[in-house]
Amino acid sequence: MFCVDNSFVHSIFFDEPVESKKKKFQIFYLTSSRHHPVEFKEKNNKIEKMGNSVSKKIVSIKLPVKEDIKVIIQYWTRILNIKLGWIHELDKLVANYVITLFMFDTFRSSFKLLKTFTGHTDIIWSIDYSTFNGSQFICSGSADKTVRVWNVDANKQIQSFNGHLSYVYCVKFSHYYYRRYRNVICFSSFDKTIRFWDFKNNQQLQVFNEHTNYVAGIEFSTFNGGRYLCSGSGDNTIRLWDVEIAKSLHIFNGHTSTVWCVDISPFQSNNTDNNKSNTIGVIGGNGYTICSGSWDETIRIWDIEKAKQFIVFKGHKNGVWSVKYGSNELLNTILSGSEDKSVRLWDIRSGKQIQVFNGHTDQVFAVEYSPLVVKNIEVSGNSNVICSGSTDDTIRFWDIRSNKSQLYGIKENKKCNGITGLKFISLTNKNTNDVSLCYGSVKGPIRVWGKTSFCK
């Protein structure tokens, strides 16, 4: 039995084998305890409605006994997603969940190094990915003081920005500007500035220069079309900016050392772009928070409405390089990577550490929640997979519900002096849309891992 969620337990089970003239078959069922289900059967490669049932919903598909469970699940899911256009929204969610059941095993067995982008002459501190007008792009910021844009489909660099006077630390595509027909990247620098650059027209648009020391991590809001930007700095503060009016809305004080990384909670807002009256209170009133990691060894959560700190996570034994909010079922968690070589998972509700992952032999520069799940026999269910990159030249994958050794690791074949940035991306190729992993390194190359079919 595969339990998707105890709140509406769905299960998959098999009846006794059924003999036919040619082969032995098994009956495959799905049950649901939340809806009045409908029973189906497969006949001549078609799904037929059999009538209503008051106790459970049954999807019956005859398949050979020796077929792998993975094939059965994928076949059933394809049937529901493609052939049953009337399927309930809840069932779609269940089907999508089942699809990911074996995704990590697929990743581990079929993903290879696809692309390498070279051009930077120093450490790549940050990378980002986006699509504009049907094309796929990666941007990167480096200690060589440049920002570069790469066309993924053409496998080449298409732009380079050299306007900073010092290291470029963090780069982000601005979807706020894209909605206004501009292809724009935002990036922070050790020259104390945040700049916006239209890479299509090679034009600098605006500069934020109110930090009093170098600017490190930046992040756009997922709400209001990315109108808001937060930034962390060597002046020990966090600032929240309104991109539309090019103004610093508030300064968050509390850290006692450099704020290297920031993130904005993914809670959704009811506001629209037509609402021009957004203020800090309106944002905060919808439950938005900022998370920050600092060289003072702490991770802090800030209430935007009150512009005050309300949670401090302590546990790391050295500076924090990377923090990320979770999403979906992991909304109440934060992931962090540190100079102390550890990866940690935190519970926002309790303010406590959930798990610590040890195994890296050098500092952890980057952490990411992956779109992958893995079967966890210890908890009789599925676990999400997280990912970390370190200056020990490895990328490691971890089961969030187990503090045992890593699930899998990618080791750089050639000495790159460390992994500095990670990004899971959805590369598209013809009719396929595959999960790939992009990362930057200390010596400068950017690499993309994915399915080998993408290159064909």
Q: What is the CATH number of the domain that holds 188?
A: 2.130.10.10
Both 331 and 212 in a single domain? Answer: yes
Which tens digits make up the pLDDT trace of 168-177?
999 999 988 8
Weakest mean pLDDT among 130-144, 327-341, 413-427: 413-427
pLDDT, mean over the chain: 77
Across 184-207, average pLDDT: 94
Both 175 and 40 in a single domain? Answer: no
What are the tokens at 293? 């990691």
Residue 96 inside a domain? The answer is no
Both 80 and 157 in a single domain? Answer: no
Residue 94 inside a domain? The answer is no
pLDDT at 404: 74
Residue 255 inside a domain? The answer is yes
Both 112 and 83 in a single domain? Answer: no
pLDDT at 402: 78
Residue 344 inside a domain? The answer is yes
Q: How far apart are CA 370 and CA 390, in angstroms?
A: 16
Report the largest interatomic distance among the alpha carbons of the chain, rounded to a whole angstrom: 81
Weakest mean pLDDT among 330-339, 341-350, 367-376: 367-376
Domains in the chain, number: 2
Both 82 and 119 in a single domain? Answer: no
pLDDT at 374: 80
Q: How far apart are CA 161 and CA 149, in angstroms?
A: 9
The boundaries of the domain holding residue 59 are: 6-87
Q: Give yes or no for residue 223 having a pLDDT over 90.
A: no
Both 15 and 135 in a single domain? Answer: no
Residue 101 inside a domain? The answer is no
pLDDT at 307: 82
Both 264 and 328 in a single domain? Answer: yes
Question: What DSSP assignment string belongs to 64-128?
Answer: ETTS-HHHHHHHHHHIIIII-TT--HHHHHHHHHHHGGGHHHHHHHHEEEEEEE---SS-EEEEE
Both 241 and 347 in a single domain? Answer: yes
Across 128-149, average pLDDT: 93
Query: Could you give the C-alpha distances from 365 to 106, 126, 333, 339, 453, in angstroms and in order?
Result: 26, 10, 19, 8, 30
Both 72 and 125 in a single domain? Answer: no
Across 337-364, average pLDDT: 95
